[in-house]
């Protein structure tokens, strides 16, 4: 039984490359980057660590919430000088009292509350008792003076900030062990539903160190399937009793990734990308916290913009792809990652399907028509891929004419041959080659397909007209009709084409594009996959499975139809992750709609001021408190005042002035174009977040290296 309650044969891998035999060092016991196998303490500690509900984007694992507003802290120099001055004042007051410079009035309270017989050496208390009475009163007065000056001098705050409490540092509080009915390691939700035997088996394997974080997430996902009614309780219980922590495996049979480079928390679904900088421009509640992204944020799509070398692939794309692959192993997500060959998107063993377009050794092919049997749907997707970048660059632009031309050929061809045309056949039909057109007409006439004959007649009448787009389509198809792609996009059934219709299953896919020497073809294929993705997720049966498309370098991919497709993904529990070197790679009319369609926007260091201006506009402005300080020269009117001012000028070198402070509310950009271009340190980024529920996080300065 799979994690989603079904069985699937996907997940075939290419044959591994044999290792060299000679003097290679011995293989380590586990892959680098992967956490050690959990034992009966490490895994249980991870599972029981608190994960409080907090603001969007905060790494929840072990998070300790901070106040919303920053407490008013007095500068250290001012604090220490104030404490010292308060001590000197208290010492002065005590000296004046002791030496009688202020009279004997401070003895009045003692005289009022004690009888006359207690005072004097011959009193009722005796010499020793009288001495103790007067000494005790002095100590009481000294303590009162110390308390008063300590309050005024803030001695308590000095002790907390500079005393032993600050030396020891923050010691994490030990969480008490949870009660058995609240211990997640005991699977209380299974016990409450009557699956006590399954809960006992899982709890025993967790205590014995036989369970990983992926196992816990996968079984929890399968239990959600039981509660939603996708399959029965008996099936789930039987699988758990038989296989324990290995129950409900992913179709590939894998229980973890070969390597992990980022920190993941599958209990919350987050991956840690870095640390929010302790910067005054960040809200106080975010400063110094970890930055964690999960499906609840990626469901609104993410756009990252930064020049080459700013860390888009290594610090953003690779951790997100790794996290989504772990979610797929847990049965929660389906992921498709697109990038240039050798871009560092993860090892091939981390994916179920690796499509290496242009590589003869590739096990899988790419379905040019998205696995559909509807000619109109195939024509719409293919037209977007071929000429989507030539559409009018505004929200009203479309590719309807190109879709009509392709539909006029794809429908008749499928009716005659039972399949869609291959790339060479499609190119010939778009060029209007006499032989293929005549053969197609004869096949339609023999089968008496009158409606399709009319489609073919309309195509033939349009050929050669000045406004016909068939020639443009043929030129674009010619980019795929190259010797390097001769074995790809096969429609005869001889290859193993991958179709995005597989997004109903928790599949992990990596598509390597032939960027070197085929840049135009690579951009066209990226548009094709994006169009197929947006079309496929809209018709999925199981939308509880999060689907995500990750495109490393989306240059030439953003079109009017693509922007409209991204806007529709949130309702289908899907999202895309796009990276760009600069917003100049997107037509000017589409930049605003693209930034508006993506809920999470990231500007990495090295951004140009022109790109920064677009981000500054979409992030808007905020009201802040501005303080204007004005120094006004003081004019002395009396002779003594003039002498005093002259002496002050000689000592300080400046004329006496009076300072006036004006506080007012002003509206200012959250991040200006200049700050984004010149104020973001290397390895940092400014990121704004939006969840699928509509919660927002303002632009945050994030250290992606932390």
| pLDDT score of 173 | 53
Q: H or E element: which one contains 292?
A: strand 290-293
CA 86 to chain centre: 50
| pLDDT score of 102 | 77
Alpha-carbon distances of 272 from 52, 486, 599, rounded to whole Å? 16, 42, 19
> What is the value of pTM for the model shown?
0.82
> What is the chain's percent helix, strand, coil content, to nearest 5?
45, 15, 40
d(CA 571, CA 538): 9
Alpha-carbon distances of 157 from 65, 70, 73, 162, rounded to whole Å? 22, 16, 10, 8
| pLDDT score of 16 | 35
State phi, psi for 562 to the nearest 5 degrees.
Answer: -65, -40
pLDDT digits (tens, 9 = 90+) for 400-454: 889 999 999 999 999 999 999 999 999 999 998 899 899 999 999 888 888 899 9
| pLDDT score of 7 | 37
Buried b (16+ CB within 10 A) or exposed e, 559-593: bbbbbebbbebbebbbbbbbbbbbbebbbeebbeb
Q: Quickly count: other Cβ atoms within 10 Å of residue 549's Cβ.
A: 30
d(CA 548, CA 571): 13
DSSP string, 557-572: T--HHHHHHHHHHGGG
CA atoms within a 13 Å half-sphere pointing along the CA-CB vector of 344: 10
d(CA 217, CA 268): 9
Nearest to 658 by CA among 626, 625, 636, 627: 636
Alpha-carbon distances of 537 from 366, 565, 576, rounded to whole Å? 18, 10, 11
Q: Which residues pair with 696 in a beta bridge?
A: 690
Nearest to 235 by CA among 202, 198, 210, 206: 198
Q: Quickly count: other Cβ atoms within 10 Å of residue 234's Cβ.
A: 10
DSSP H helical ranges for 249-317: 295-298, 312
pLDDT, averaged per 10 consecutive residues of the chain (706 residues), comes to: 42 35 44 47 88 94 83 78 89 87 81 74 69 84 91 86 71 63 88 91 90 94 90 90 92 93 94 93 92 96 94 94 96 95 90 93 91 92 91 64 92 92 93 90 88 90 85 93 89 86 93 87 95 92 92 93 93 95 93 94 95 94 82 82 79 77 85 94 95 94 90
Which residue bears the tokens 């007065």? 141
d(CA 330, CA 462): 52
Nearest to 162 by CA among 154, 150, 173, 151: 154
| DSSP-derived pairing of the beta strands 546-551 and 290-293 | unpaired
The burial class, CB within 10 Å (0-12 / 13-18 / 19+), for 425 is buried
């Amino acid at each position: 039984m799979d994690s989603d309650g079904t069985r699937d044969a996907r997940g075939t891998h290419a044959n591994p490359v044999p290792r060299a035999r000679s003097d290679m060092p011995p293989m380590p016991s586990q892959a680098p980057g992967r956490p050690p196998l959990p034992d009966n303490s490490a895994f249980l500690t991870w599972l029981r660590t608190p994960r409080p509900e907090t603001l969007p984007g905060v790494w929840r694992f072990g998070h300790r919430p901070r106040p919303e507003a920053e407490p008013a802290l007095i500068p250290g120099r001012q604090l220490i000088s104030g404490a010292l001055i308060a001590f000197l004042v208290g010492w002065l007051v005590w000296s004046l009292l002791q030496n009688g410079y202020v009279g004997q009035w401070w003895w009045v309270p003692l005289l009022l509350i004690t009888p006359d017989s207690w005072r004097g050496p011959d009193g009722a208390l005796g010499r020793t008792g009288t001495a103790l009475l007067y000494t005790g009163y002095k100590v009481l007065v000294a303590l009162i003076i110390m308390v008063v000056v300590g309050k005024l001098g803030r001695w308590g705050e000095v002790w907390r900030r500079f005393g032993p409490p600050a030396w020891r540092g923050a010691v994490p509080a030990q969480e008490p062990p949870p009660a058995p009915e609240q211990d997640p390691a005991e699977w209380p939700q299974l016990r409450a539903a009557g699956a006590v035997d399954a809960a006992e088996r899982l709890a025993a394997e967790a205590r014995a160190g036989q369970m990983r974080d992926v196992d816990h997430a996968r079984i929890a996902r399968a239990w959600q399937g039981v509660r939603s009614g996708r399959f029965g309780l008996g099936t789930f219980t039987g699988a758990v009793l038989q296989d324990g922590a290995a129950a409900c495996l992913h179709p590939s049979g894998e229980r973890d990734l070969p390597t992990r480079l980022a920190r993941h928390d599958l209990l919350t679904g987050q991956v840690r990308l870095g640390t929010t900088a302790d910067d005054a421009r960040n809200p106080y509640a975010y400063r110094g916290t970890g930055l964690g992204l999960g499906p609840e944020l990626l469901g609104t799509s993410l756009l990252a913009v930064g020049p080459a070398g700013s860390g888009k692939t290594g610090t953003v794309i690779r951790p997100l792809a790794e996290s989504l692959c772990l979610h797929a192993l847990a049965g929660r997500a389906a992921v498709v990652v697109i990038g240039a060959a050798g871009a560092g998107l993860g090892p091939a063993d981390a994916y179920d399907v690796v499509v290496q377009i242009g590589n003869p050794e590739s096990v899988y092919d790419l379905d040019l028509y998205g696995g559909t049997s509807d000619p109109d749907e195939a024509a719409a997707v293919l037209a977007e891929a071929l000429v989507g970048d030539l559409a009018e660059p505004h929200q009203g632009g479309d590719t309807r004419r190109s879709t009509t031309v392709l539909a006029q050929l794809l429908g008749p061809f499928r009716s005659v041959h039972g399949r869609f045309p291959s790339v060479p056949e499609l190119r010939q039909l778009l060029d209007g080659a006499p032989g293929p057109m005549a053969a197609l007409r004869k096949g339609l006439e023999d089968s008496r397909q009158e409606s399709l004959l009319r489609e073919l007649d309309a195509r033939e009448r349009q050929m050669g007209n000045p406004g016909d787009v068939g020639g443009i389509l043929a030129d674009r198809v010619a980019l795929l009709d190259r010797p390097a792609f001769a074995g790809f996009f096969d429609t005869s059934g001889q290859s193993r084409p991958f179709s995005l219709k597989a997004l109903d299953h928790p599949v992990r896919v990596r598509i390597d594009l032939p960027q070197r020497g085929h840049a135009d073809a690579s951009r066209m294929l990226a548009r094709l996959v994006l169009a197929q993705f947006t079309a496929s997720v809209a018709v999925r049966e199981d939308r509880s499975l999060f689907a995500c498309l990750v495109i490393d370098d989306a240059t030439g991919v953003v079109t009017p139809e693509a922007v409209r497709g991204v806007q529709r993904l949130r309702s289908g529990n899907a999202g895309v992750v796009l990276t760009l070197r600069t917003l100049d790679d997107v037509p000017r009319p589409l930049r605003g709609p693209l930034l508006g369609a993506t809920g999470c926007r990231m500007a990495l260091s090295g951004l140009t001021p022109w790109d920064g201006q677009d981000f500054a506009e979409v992030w808007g402005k905020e009201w802040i408190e501005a303080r204007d300080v004005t120094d006004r020269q003081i004019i002395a009117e009396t002779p003594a005042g003039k002498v005093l001012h002259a002496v002050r000028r000689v000592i300080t070198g400046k004329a006496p002035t009076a300072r006036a402070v004006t506080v007012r509310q002003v509206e200012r950009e959250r991040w200006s174009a200049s700050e984004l271009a010149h104020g973001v340190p290397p390895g940092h980024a400014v990121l704004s977040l939006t969840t699928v529920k509509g919660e927002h996080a303002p632009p945050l300065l994030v250290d992606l290296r932390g």
